[in-house]
Amino acid sequence: MELEKYKLGGTHLKSSDFEKGKVLTTAWQPNLAYTWDNGVAIGRYLDELKNGRIIARVCHECHRIMLPPRMFCELCFRPTDEWMYVQDTGVVSTFSVARVNWDASRRGPKEPPLLPAVIEIDGATKGMGILHMLGEVDPDDIKAGMKVRAVWKKSEDRTGAITDILYFKPLRAAASKKAPARRKR
């Protein structure tokens, strides 16, 4: 055979050869650290999450109410004009049912799936909102277009982070399972 001369000779390497150090490799654990300046827009956004509120920025040129907030409009390419509080309710735009963790390790058989969702927040321009998690919901019951509300950490536990919201839960499910007096909160 013409290709015969390209065939490698010798013995195939096994993974155990690497594990036992018979084949040398080089390993290095980088130790890099960053502290990003949040700046004006994200700084205020996180401050307000700590207060239990969601804040957006408004562009007077295109009239978009932008969430997450930003100090400049990327389309009109001008500074945005004012702050505006929006609701902590919204509509599920899209969602997924994740049976693996962030590092791709599989969730255990007893662990519920993670439920990432993009939520269009009430008061912000349609198509804008928060990428977060859903909770207190059966994965089979989730639908695009479903109304949801933020479930916040207790105020003393909030740190000024996106995780100050624990997750979003269905509005309707809350209505069916909980007393009206409680819902008013």
Partner 1 sequence: MIKRVAIVGIGTTGFRPITPDVSYRELIFEAARKAYTDAGIEPSEIGGFITAAEDFLEGYSICDEYCPDQIGAVLKPTQTIPGDFIQALATGYMMIMTGAFKTVAIEAHSKASNVKNIDELMGFAFDPVYNRPLRETPHAIAGLEMTRYMFETCTSAEQCARVVVKNKGNAMRNPYAAFGADIAEKDVLNSDPISLPLHRLDIAPHADGAVVAVLADGETALALSETPIWIEGLGWCTDTPTLEMRDWGEAAYARLAAEMAYKMAGIANPAGMIDFAEINDEYSFKELQHMEALKLCRPGEAGHLLESGATSYAGDIPINVSGGALGVGHLFEASGAHKILELVEQLRGEAGARQIPDVNIGLAQVWRGVPTATGAVAILSNM
Least distance from C-beta 61 to partner 1, angstroms?
12
Q: Which is nearer to partner 1, 57 or 115 (CB)?
A: 57
Minimum distance, C-beta of residue 28 to partner 1, in the bound complex (Å): 5
Strand partners, 58: 65, 82
What whole-number distance in Å separates Cα of residue 71 and Cα of residue 48?
16
- For residues 45-82, b (16+ Cβ closer than 10 Å) or e, as one string? bbebbeeeebbbbbbeeeebbbbbbbeebeeeeeebee
**Nearer to partner 1 among residue 6 and residue 77 (C-beta):** 77
Which one, 60 or 99, has the nearer CB to partner 1? 60
| Residues engaged in binding partner 1 (CB under 8 A) | 26, 28, 30-42, 70-72, 74-75, 77-78
* Smallest distance from partner 1 to CB 145, Å: 26
- Cα–Cα distance for residue pair 96/154, rounded to 1 Å: 27
